[in-house]
A and B are shown apart, each in its own frame.
Chain A
Amino acid sequence: MATRQPFTSSDTADEAVRATCDDASTCKRFATSKGYWKDPYIQYFVRQSGERKAPEISRGYYARVHGVNRLLDGFLRKTTCNCQVINLGAGLDTTFWRLKEANLLPKKYFEVDFSVIVARKLHNIKTKPPLSNPIVATHSTDLLLMDGHSLDSDRYCIIGADLRDLPALEEKLKKCHLDTKLPTLFVSECVLVYMTLEQSSSLVKWVADTFDTAMFINYEQVNMADRFGQIMIENLQRRQCNLAGVEVCRSLESQKDRFLLAGWEKADALDMMTVYNILPQDDVGRIEQLEFLDERELLQQLLQHYCICWATKDKLSLGLLDVTF
């Protein structure tokens, strides 16, 4: 039997990364409670805290959620849902339920995150009928295969795994009937940046090697070589959170290159200020009325330091290049 490379994960660093799950969830909870967008499921994962979030943060999450969803839904439509979606580092994301309600479920929807986070998510699902009912409804039997560590139902699979251990990840996905021949969409939001370049390149390359027809949507930081980036890195370091892969976040070019160099055919990237201005402007106008923004330049700066990058390889010539903004 081949010996696997043992990799040492610094517990503190990983803990800090896992804590970002709460950041994202509480910010989204706050934003939805203010009416930025509707998510009737998030309340089952995170309670509303008394703490207000600044308007620019809510607007940032609005752009993120709508930007990623635009590409995600585009992929689903292009493949007429005859595909798979795998969300890496999904945290407490509620996309499965959104797609179920919109009748846009792929053949199978996978989520991967640290076991600790998955356990939390599963506990919420188990104890809240509004979460479990839709899953049961898409399952062929009345019983869900769910232990404390993973869920494998017909249409929804949640796996606890370390994204830096690719052999283990692949094994677990295959156990949940991952079909490498189906067009597959990978999504990662503020995930790759917490890994070293080597680790994220391996991941991105593994996807390219394993799937012939695929798309990868990556949302994370960009333009980090400036002062703002410096400050963000310092602030996060104070929380013991390392942006180990921040070098790739240098520019839109470097974000695209990470995919192109790993065997993806095409890659595109936009910073979130651009995305914000491309999104349907009546709804953007609506959310701008929700809270008072104290300094517009700061919103712009914030948005310019995040991007959505998406890469495709299209052996089946489905026209995946058409999936864009």
Chain B
Amino acid sequence: MAGAADCGSVKMAEAERSAETLKEKANNYFKEKDYENAIKYYSEAVELNPDNAIYYGNRSLAYLRTECYGYALADATLALELDKNYIKGYYRRATSNMALGKFKAALKDYETVVKVRPNDKDAKLKYQECSKIVKQKAFERAIASDELKRSVVDSLDIESMTIEDEYLGPKLEEGGKITLKFMKEMMGWFKDQKKLHRKCAYQILVQVKEVLSKLPSLVEITLKETEKITICGDTHGQYYDLLNIFELNGLPSETNPYLFNGDFVDRGSFSVEVILTLFGFKLLFPDCFYLLRGNHETDNMNQMYGFEGEVKAKYTAQMFELFSEVFQWLPLAQSINGKVLVMHGGLFSEDGVTLDDIRKINRNRQPPDSGPMCDLLWSDPQALDGRSVSKRGVSCQFGPDVTKRFLEQNQLDYIIRSHEMKSEGYEVTHNGQCITVFSAPNYCDQMGNKGAYIHLKGSDLKPEFHQFAAVPHPNVKPMAYANSLMQMGMM
């Protein structure tokens, strides 16, 4: 008659046998390339016998085949924890790490395998391949930090670009110097839906990249008592509404300075016209025409929301790459008289960020997924105190207390930001300490909102709001160049 201990070990043996059967079943599914079922039965095997490294190893391979690299990595690691000598485990872990781009980690595991199996040709091969990749990546990093990374500018030969006789549009003089005459001509040319010659476009881009790259990430300006500035929010490719702003508020000049607070492109289908106009004015009036970067002056957004498509349609992919480089040099914030801070998105996911921190941001890049540079482009104010996770999926929402603390710490009066459509074109929140201004009226031809801009006088720095309505535009729908399904909704 079996005793209690025997019962236990009998049960164990039974469980192990059942687990083995399940593993066999899973292996069969694996052979048939039915990875979902393979995973299912490996998992059942694991439940009956959680100490068998092979089950995890096999499941890891099934996960690799279904591109679930995170799960594959976890299983390979578990397998190795159970059995340090399970060579396949190292292989699986290395493969997962390779797929996840973690080449250094992968190299370590390949190294282990080679040590244990010095005669294994395949192991050696994989180790060498991985080693090459690690070296290559290190090399690339080294070049990037030396800023010797090749720019589109290096491969352009603007001088030899010829302008055909048939082109009747605006041209830049020798040397590419922008004049007011050129700007007026170009704006009229754009209004008639005509295209600026690519040589001129390149000349503008190359020059504005130079100018922007010399600016700090935090631009600091002083308005004298008698001076004023007009601050505009998102314009999003709505060229005809931009022209209307200049109608209502006057063209930019030394006595009529402007600050455009990001999101110049995407969604509206005249983004090229908007951005070339704004860049032209930046070159014409570098010390009284200001541009800040918005979250749409980034590759991800341009890819989805139309700007990349528009540039490729009107010009070339190479020109889009140059736009992308130029966008990376746009400053991230601007302070006016040390009292008003302007940025596209908003404040930070953590307390304690200072103006000096902003100054020091290395901005010549795509924004990271988190951190001050990301927050400056992406965050939103909220009514409640504290911070919340943003519904946008990135950065945060910050409350009036966050704004108050930031302003106090940096001796500022209030912030002006954009980034959110407002039906009245602007909104004052956080007890007057956080102002939103949005300058794309009837956003996307469908929101019916007003646009607004802000007048700021050097004498009192009190914001004065001016609203305006949308004006008609030629029949090119918003998002005309975007990924086509964007405009359709759900089908």
Residues of A within 8 A of B (CB): 20, 23-24, 26-27, 40, 51-55, 57, 60-61, 64, 129-130, 133, 190, 221, 227-228, 231-232, 234-236, 239, 285, 288-298, 301-302, 305-306
Interface residue from B32, B33, B445 paired with A231 (Cβ < 8 Å): B445
CA distance A195 to B167 in the complex (A): 50
Q: A294 contacts B393, CB within 8 Å? A: no
Q: B34 contacts A292, CB within 8 Å? A: no
Q: B305 contacts A294, CB within 8 Å? A: yes
Check B125 for interface membership: any CB of A closer than 8 A.
Answer: no
What are the residues of chain A within 8 A of B391 when measuring CB–CB? 288, 293, 296
Nearest 9 interchain pairs by C-beta: A20-B491, A23-B491, A292-B394, A293-B392, A228-B446, A292-B393, A235-B487, A297-B421, A227-B446
Q: B444 contacts A232, CB within 8 Å? A: no
B237-245, B295-303, B310-318: which lies at the interface: B295-303
Determine how close the nearest CB of chain A comes to the CB of B422; give it in whole angstroms: 9
Q: A236 contacts B488, CB within 8 Å? A: yes
Check B477 for interface membership: any CB of A closer than 8 A.
Answer: yes
Determine how close the nearest CB of chain B comes to the CB of A319; give it in whole angstroms: 31
Closest residue of chain B to A52, judged by CB? B304
CA distance A60 to B447 in the complex (A): 18
CA distance A200 to B491 in the complex (A): 17
CA distance A129 to B29 in the complex (A): 10
Check B85 for interface membership: any CB of A closer than 8 A.
Answer: no
Interface residue from A26, A296, A301 paired with B485 (Cβ < 8 Å): A26
CA distance A26 to B488 in the complex (A): 13
Interface positions of B from 1 to 25, Cβ below 8 Å from A: none
CA distance A301 to B300 in the complex (A): 22
Q: A130-B36, A292-B393, A293-B391 known; A302 and B489 CB under 8 Å?
A: yes
Closest residue of chain B to A234, judged by CB? B477
- Between A and B, how many residue pairs show CB distances below 8 Å? 104
Q: A53-B483, A231-B477, A293-B391 known; A23 and B445 CB under 8 Å?
A: no
Check B490 for interface membership: any CB of A closer than 8 A.
Answer: yes
Among A26, A130, A285, the one with the most B-chain Cβ atoms within 10 Å of its Cβ is A130
Q: Can you list 29 contacts pairing A with B, beta carbon distance less than 8 Å?
A: A23-B488, A23-B491, A26-B485, A53-B485, A53-B486, A54-B305, A54-B486, A55-B393, A57-B485, A61-B490, A130-B34, A130-B36, A130-B37, A221-B489, A227-B445, A231-B477, A232-B487, A239-B488, A289-B389, A289-B393, A292-B295, A292-B392, A292-B393, A293-B393, A294-B295, A295-B421, A297-B443, A301-B447, A306-B490
The 0/1 profile, CB within 8 Å of A marked 1, for residues 380-403 of chain B is 000000000111111000000000
CA distance A236 to B391 in the complex (A): 29
What are the residues of chain B within 8 A of A57 when measuring CB–CB? 485-486, 489-490
Interface positions of B from 465 to 491, Cβ below 8 Å from A: 477, 483, 485-491
Q: A292 contacts B447, CB within 8 Å? A: no
Closest residue of chain A to B305, judged by CB? A294
CA distance A61 to B296 in the complex (A): 24
Closest residue of chain B to A193, judged by CB? B491
Among A20, A27, A297, the one with the most B-chain Cβ atoms within 10 Å of its Cβ is A297
CA distance A257 to B325 in the complex (A): 55
Interface residue from B421, B446, B447, B489 paired with A306 (Cβ < 8 Å): B489
Q: A40 contacts B477, CB within 8 Å? A: no
Q: A296 contacts B491, CB within 8 Å? A: no
Closest residue of chain B to A289, judged by CB? B393
Check B378 for interface membership: any CB of A closer than 8 A.
Answer: yes
Determine how close the nearest CB of chain B comes to the CB of A30; give it in whole angstroms: 9
CA distance A101 to B83 in the complex (A): 33
What are the residues of chain B within 8 A of A302 when measuring CB–CB? 489
Interface positions of B from 353 to 408, Cβ below 8 Å from A: 378, 389-394
What are the residues of chain A within 8 A of B488 when measuring CB–CB? 23, 232, 235-236, 239
Determine how close the nearest CB of chain B comes to the CB of A91; give it in whole angstroms: 10
Interface residue from A40, A64, A295, A296 paired with B490 (Cβ < 8 Å): A64
CA distance A54 to B486 in the complex (A): 7
Q: B483 contacts A231, CB within 8 Å? A: no
Q: A294 contacts B447, CB within 8 Å? A: no
CA distance A119 to B446 in the complex (A): 39
CA distance A235 to B33 in the complex (A): 42
Interface residue from B393, B446, B448, B477 paired with A291 (Cβ < 8 Å): B393
What are the residues of chain A within 8 A of B303 when measuring CB–CB? 52
What are the residues of chain B within 8 A of A61 when measuring CB–CB? 490
Determine how close the nearest CB of chain A comes to the CB of B266; give it in whole angstroms: 8
What are the residues of chain B within 8 A of A51 when measuring CB–CB? 483, 485
Among A236, A293, A294, A301, the one with the most B-chain Cβ atoms within 10 Å of its Cβ is A294
What are the residues of chain A within 8 A of B301 when measuring CB–CB? 294
CA distance A294 to B266 in the complex (A): 11
The 0/1 profile, CB within 8 Å of A marked 1, for residues 288-331 of chain B is 00000001100011011100000000000000000000000000
What are the residues of chain B within 8 A of A306 when measuring CB–CB? 489-490
Determine how close the nearest CB of chain B comes to the CB of A226; give it in whole angstroms: 8
What are the residues of chain A within 8 A of B485 when measuring CB–CB? 23, 26-27, 51, 53, 57
Closest residue of chain B to A302, judged by CB? B489
Among A26, A227, A285, A290, the one with the most B-chain Cβ atoms within 10 Å of its Cβ is A227
Interface residue from A221, A239, A301 paired with B446 (Cβ < 8 Å): A301
Q: A51-B483, A52-B304 known; A60 and B490 CB under 8 Å?
A: yes
CA distance A128 to B145 in the complex (A): 49
What are the residues of chain A within 8 A of B390 when measuring CB–CB? 288
Q: A294-B296, A298-B444 known; A133 and B34 CB under 8 Å?
A: yes
Determine how close the nearest CB of chain B comes to the CB of A310; give it in whole angstroms: 17
CA distance A221 to B489 in the complex (A): 10
CA distance A129 to B393 in the complex (A): 37
What are the residues of chain B within 8 A of A26 when measuring CB–CB? 485
CA distance A176 to B421 in the complex (A): 53
Determine how close the nearest CB of chain A comes to the CB of B103; give it in whole angstroms: 24
What are the residues of chain B within 8 A of A305 when measuring CB–CB? 489
CA distance A90 to B40 in the complex (A): 28
Q: A60 contacts B489, CB within 8 Å? A: yes
CA distance A181 to B303 in the complex (A): 53
Q: B32 contacts A129, CB within 8 Å? A: yes
Determine how close the nearest CB of chain A comes to the CB of B431; give it in whole angstroms: 23
CA distance A55 to B485 in the complex (A): 12
Q: B491 contacts A190, CB within 8 Å? A: yes
Determine how close the nearest CB of chain B comes to the CB of A284; give it in whole angstroms: 9
The 0/1 profile, CB within 8 Å of A marked 1, for residues 139-162 of chain B is 000000000000000000000000
